[in-house]
A and B are shown apart, each in its own frame.
Chain A
Amino acid sequence: MKVSILQFPGTNCEYDTEHAFKSLGAQTEIVWHKSETIPSDTNLLVVAGGFSYGDYLRSGAIAKYSPVMKAVKEYAAKGGKVLGICNGFQVLTEAGLLPGALKRNEHLHFISRHHHLKVINNDNIFLQELKKGSVINIPIAHHDGNYYIDADGLKDLYLNNQILLTYTDKEGAINNPNGSIDSIAGVCNKEKNVFGLMPHPERAMELLLGSDDGVKMLQGFLSA
Chain B
Amino acid sequence: MKVIVNVSLKAGVLDSQGKAVHHALNSLNFSGVSDVRVGKQIVLNLDETDEAKAREEVTRMCEDLLANTVIEDYEIELIK
Chain A interface (Cβ within 8 Å of chain B)? 57-58, 61-62, 65, 93-94, 100-101, 103-108, 146, 148-150, 179
Contact = CB atoms under 8 A, between A and B. Distances in A.
10 contacts: A100-B70, A101-B71, A103-B9, A103-B14, A103-B16, A104-B16, A104-B17, A108-B20, A148-B71, A149-B70
A57 B16 contact: no
Contacts of A57: 65-66
B68 A106 contact: no
Contacts of A58: 68
Nearest to A151: B12
A148 B70 contact: yes
A223 to B, nearest CB: 34
Nearest to A94: B68
A57 B64 CA distance: 12
Contacts of B9: 103
Interface string B51-80: 000000000000001101011000000000
Interface size class of B (residues with CB under 8 A): 10 to 19
Contact of B68 (A101, A104, A146): A101
Contacts of A150: 70
B13 A148 contact: yes
A65 B65 contact: yes
B65 A103 contact: no
B58 to A, nearest CB: 15
Given A108-B16, A148-B13, A179-B16, A103 B71 contact: yes
A103 B14 CA distance: 9
A27 to B, nearest CB: 35
